[in-house]
Chain A
Amino acid sequence: DAGVIQSPRHEVTEMGQEVTLRCKPISGHDYLFWYRQTMMRGLELLIYFNNNVPIDDSGMPEDRFSAKMPNASFSTLKIQPSEPRDSAVYFCASSSTQTRGSYEQYFGPGTRLTVT
């Protein structure tokens, strides 16, 4: 299995530009999560989906952030317009109700976003 795939791995953009981060979850997983990692706050859950439906977006910092999951194998996290304080590493993770015994989430390698 290829694991969770994220693209791009690095993104440098200027303030005010739109940024789109992409994620392909592990095949067969029905939960998908978007996290943000910063030095001060560690890993924060932004939003998660179950069977492509957003369940909890209470962690999304503001309206500039949006996430979609058009099908079971693809999700996007969009920031429009981007600001320097959005600079962080963004992780996508997935999990399956078939392996609920461990509650484990499987993380992608992350996208390092720098907004100048």
Chain B
Amino acid sequence: DQQVKQNSPSLSVQEGRISILNCDYTNSMFDYFLWYKKYPAEGPTFLISISSIKDKNEDGRFTVFLNKSAKHLSLHIVPSQPGDSAVYFCAAISRYNFNKFYFGSGTKLNVKP
């Protein structure tokens, strides 16, 4: 049973607009979350993370929001660029084992020029 879920397999957005990628989790022991970005034929690369003691973390065009009560996090990309087209994976870590990542199934983002 997947403990981290990304329910949207794909998302299409116009260049310059906002992209919002969502992620839900079931395990209340998760207290650190990461987003990874993956281009075709490459491995995933780290994008941004957030600790459960925060509800927002921002890095340039990328912002991650965490809603602990809803067990939900989202990644906002503003403004979206064609180079952002990739698969985005959400991952969660438990305080009891920060080596064991639980990944979602990914959301494929397509940013149209």
Contact = CB atoms under 8 A, between A and B. Distances in A.
Interface of A: 4, 31, 33, 35, 39-45, 48, 50, 55-56, 91, 93, 95, 100, 102-110
Q: Is the interface of A mostly helix, strand, loop or mixed?
A: strand
A107 B45 contact: yes
A109 to B, nearest CB: 5
B99 A102 contact: no
Contacts of B44: 43, 91, 107
B46 A104 contact: yes
Contact of B105 (A42, A105, A110): A42
Contacts of B98: 100, 103
Contact of A48 (B6, B99, B103, B104): B99
Given A4-B43, A43-B103, A103-B93, 13 more contacts: A41-B2, A42-B6, A42-B106, A43-B44, A45-B103, A55-B99, A93-B43, A102-B46, A103-B32, A103-B34, A104-B46, A104-B49, A110-B42
